[in-house]
Chain A
Amino acid sequence: MPTKTKEMKSEAEPTRRSFLNILWLILGGVALAEFVAVAFAFLRPRKSKALKEKAETIVTAGAVARFTPNSVSAFVRGKFYLARLEDGGFLALSRTCTHLGCSIPWVEKEMKFACPCHGSTFDITGNVIEAPAPRALDFYPITIENKIIKVDTHKPIKRSTFQVEQVVYPKKKA
């Protein structure tokens, strides 16, 4: 019974003790939040590699003339495929399947990318031919200077389907 009356009293008008108890509770909560924040900050993936100089992420693919139209060449170091479409435009496609991240080989005979993991297939522009892949292959920005193709592999660009604006054409000689 005595405890009950005490509680009732503390509910009615805050005593010094109940105030300090609440203060301790809040301080404890703050300390816990700090520890959680520290743990998360500690575990967050660091971006050390992504922040490397840009020069390292730019891969020089070679001269425009090296690539015949309607062909795909693999670049192991940059982890991408350079596709030259029938009309002569270039597209740098990520080799990572958009379904679950397997590396996809280019099947020359059937002119498609075929994922070995779950059977998704993509055409030369990276568009999905067969599900389960939910979207077209990621692509990398391309620049063509003096007929030399350079691919910026810093970060793949996500897209839902292929669009003509994604293709880069070598400048026609005027």
Chain B
Amino acid sequence: MQENNVMQHRLNLLQRIRYSIFPGTLRKPKDRERYRNFFNSLILHFRPRSVQQRTLKFSLTWGLGGMAVVLVCMLFATGLMLKFVYQPVPDRAYESIVHLQNNVLFGQLIRNVHHWSAYTLLIIVFLHFLRIFFTGAFHPPRQFNWILGLAMFLAVLTSNITGYLLPWDQLAFWAITICTGMLEYIPGIGGWLQGLVRGGSDIGPATLSIFFAIHTAIIPACLIILMPWHFWRVRKAGSLVIPRKPDENEGSRGDSVPTIPNLILREIVVAVVLIAFVMGISVLFNAPLEAKANPGLSPNPTKAPWYFAGIQELLLHFHPLLALFIIPILMMIALFSIPYINYQANTAGVWFASLKGRSMAVVAALVAIIVTPIGIVADEFIIDFAAWLPNIPGEISNGLIPFALMLTVTILFYTVMKKRFSSNNNEALQSVFVLLVVAFIILTITSIWFRGLNMKLSLPGYY
């Protein structure tokens, strides 16, 4: 302290102001070190003091969780800015977006960053979900964190859908018409639920205010609660799942290293690269904006947002009751029950459960890549249960029968794989998961790029 006073009178005004803000820099090197430690302990309120060295390996996490956090922060920041310009009324919404793009300085860029961050976030959380599954990071004690993760996945999806309507252009209007039209097929409460979501029978001013409220208040609030909860559970589980080789026993903890700088530095690098990537995309490609919404004219073809394209493709093959209700509900139940199934082995930390699991996953992926396109083409041109069985209602002929067939094939696949590889249920269930995920990705790709006029199968660019 004495030294402080000695030094003070030798400083000019600017230096004195600077030291009043950052007193640490005034101290001698040794004190400065202590001060930095004090500042670092602020970071350590959020991160553990030390981390397992092996969890730092990039090929364990691929930085996906951290990327999701960075993207959510970017979405919050740009979203707050957009909120100052955007007007959530049908007569003004589209005009305010045009105004944003044409008259507001950096308006287009901010909208682009918001748009591309949202799409990147969806992809990143999907990859994160795959990473967690394939490294078995849902085994105890991480069961409930899988549930929290799925809840956030649904929140991100809802955020994307509700945000999709806000520009109020043709793309937005008709995509949301289709998506909310899907609700009608939920048995019993469908019509009521649709009315609640739309705020009336048609898409109009009420729909826009409801979607705006969900997009800008409810989802951010949910994320602000769920995200820290998710991270806290990671801490409670004793850091990340520790990666190990297939033949290695679990529970062998290695060396730990201090979080600062080992983890923090890596996180900063990932964040900076990601931000640069999103900025680059945003400078090069504008977020789409079509003509103002016209309730009388559906564009041809009208497609759901790309993340719903898989479900839209299902719609072309199944009765809506199956495609929009029974199949998604069953998938959701399956996803939420993944951590609670009785597994024969704890495969936490091993990529694809085991060496056998890896080859089974490859086989499952190949089967899906071959069977799904054949199924799509066959259903387009050959299979027509509705015409073959004209006396049976559509729910059964075009719904339950093909669905039962597919379910049988999936169960058959499970038993055959289990027998053929003489595997445990971890590996067999994983191969079914791979089969379904790859099939879903192929359905999505088909819907986005191989559906042309009147939703007929066609090559990209040929309609």
Q: A45-B196, A45-B206 are in contact. List 7 more A-B contacts (CB 8 A).
A: A45-B199, A100-B178, A101-B178, A116-B302, A119-B456, A131-B394, A134-B319
Question: What per-residue 1/0 map shows which CB atoms of B287-311 lie under 8 Å from chain A?
Answer: 0000000011111111000000000
CA distance A69 to B295 in the complex (A): 28
Contacts across chains A and B counted by CB atoms under 8 Å? 77
**Docked CA distance A158–B109 (Å):** 47
Give the size category of B's interface with A: 20 to 34
A43 to B193 alpha-carbon distance, docked (Å): 11
Residues of A90-135 whose CB lies within 8 A of B:
95, 99-105, 114-119, 131-132, 134
> Is the CB–CB distance between A118 and B316 below 8 Å?
yes
Whether B198 contacts A103 by the Cβ 8 Å rule is: no
With both beta carbons as reference points, the residue of chain B lying nearest to A49 in the complex is identified as B200
A118–B302 CA distance with the chains assembled, in angstroms? 8
Q: What separation, in Å, do the CA atoms of A115 and B174 have in the docked complex? A: 12
Residue of A nearest to B312 (CB): A118
A156 to B399, CA, bound (A): 27
**B296 contacts A103, CB within 8 Å?**
yes
Chain B positions within 8 Å of A105 at CB level: 297-298
| A44 located at the interface, meaning its Cβ lies under 8 Å from any Cβ of chain B in the complex | yes
Residue of A at shortest CB range from B384?
A131
Kindly name the residue among A45, A76, A102 whose own CB sees the greatest number of chain B CB atoms within 10 A: A45
Within 8 A of A (CB), among B239-255: none
Q: Does A79 contact B (CB under 8 A)?
A: yes
Q: Is A102 touching B302 in the complex (CB atoms < 8 A)?
A: yes
Interface residue tally on A, bucketed by range: 20 to 34
Chain B nearest Cβ from A96, distance in angstroms: 9
Closest B residue, CB atoms, query A101: B181
Ordered by A's residue number, 21 sampled pairs between the chains whose C-beta atoms are within 8 Å are A44-B195, A45-B195, A45-B196, A49-B200, A101-B178, A103-B295, A103-B297, A105-B297, A114-B454, A115-B298, A116-B300, A117-B178, A118-B312, A118-B316, A119-B316, A119-B456, A131-B398, A132-B315, A132-B316, A132-B320, A134-B394
Closest residue on chain A to residue B299 by CB atoms: A116
Report whether B315 and A118 are in contact in the complex, using a CB–CB cutoff of 8 Å. yes
- Measured CB to CB, the nearest residue on chain A to B297 is A103
Q: A103-B298, A104-B298 are in contact. Are A116 and B454 (CB under 8 A)?
A: yes
Distance of B418 from chain A, by nearest CB (Å)? 36
Q: Is the CB of A116 within 8 A of B298?
A: yes
Residues of the A chain whose Cβ atoms lie less than 8 Å from the Cβ of B87: none
Q: How far is the CA of A86 from the CA of B296 in the complex (A)?
A: 27
Q: Flag whether B386 is at the interface (Cβ < 8 A).
A: yes
Question: Cβ of B199: which chain A residues have Cβ within 8 Å of it?
Answer: 45
Q: Report chain B residues within 8 Å CB of A118.
A: 312, 315-316, 455
A160→B443 CA distance, assembly (Å):
30
Q: Give complex CA distance A101, B194 in Å.
A: 12
Cβ of B319 and Cβ of A99 under 8 Å apart?
no
Nearest chain B CB to A153's CB is how many angstroms away?
12
